């Protein structure tokens, strides 16, 4: 006696019964040219934001520092600031200080992908940094 095993039959779509969102998703996945357009658009957005940011650093470094601290969900104090870096360990956090165009700048680097340059107030001479419980505390 022969045993028969059922074979599943899939329905093939010729595209006419697909929804517009399905067709759009398929086009985005298969469209390699779109990656280049997205990358160039991102580069343009970054480059276009550099000029206003540089101008703000020159005329109001305190405002830029406040924006960066707010972006990082930090807290600004009169004698320093605190930035939550939960998930980052001490070896992956780097701090360096430099003077650029007469302004003191603190560069915060976390891992390989995250870098922020914090303009420091003019009266800052030295910085004491502490990483405690995932929070970077900077005092000057």
Helix axes 61-71, 33-59, angle to 10 degrees: 130
- Is the pLDDT assigned to residue 50 strictly greater than 90? no
Indicate the average pLDDT of the chain. 81
Is 50 in the same domain as 82?
no
Are 75 and 40 part of one and the same domain? no
Strand 103-110 to 114-119 pairing: antiparallel
Query: pLDDT confidence of 122, banded at 50, 70, 90?
Result: confident
Residues 98 and 138 placed together within one structural domain of the fold? yes
Report the CATH number at residue 113. Answer: 2.60.40
The pair of three-digit structure tokens given for residue 92, joined into one six-digit string: 């992956």
Contact between residue 92 and residue 109 where contact means Cβ atoms under 8 Å apart: no
């Amino acid at each position: 006696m022969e045993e028969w095993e059922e074979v599943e039959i899939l329905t093939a779509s010729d595209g006419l019964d697909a929804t517009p969102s399905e067709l759009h998703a398929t086009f985005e996945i298969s469209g390699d040219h779109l990656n280049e357009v997205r990358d160039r658009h991102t580069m343009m957005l970054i480059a276009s934001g550099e000029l206003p940011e540089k101008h703000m650093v020159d005329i109001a470094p305190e405002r830029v520092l406040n924006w960066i601290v707010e972006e990082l969900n930090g807290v600004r104090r009169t004698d320093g600031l605190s930035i939550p870096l939960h998930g980052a360990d001490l070896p992956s956090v780097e701090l360096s200080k430099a003077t650029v165009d007469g302004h003191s700048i603190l560069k915060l680097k976390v891992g390989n992908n995250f870098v922020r340059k914090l303009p420091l107030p003019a009266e800052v001479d030295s910085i004491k940094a502490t990483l405690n419980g995932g929070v970077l505390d900077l005092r000057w």
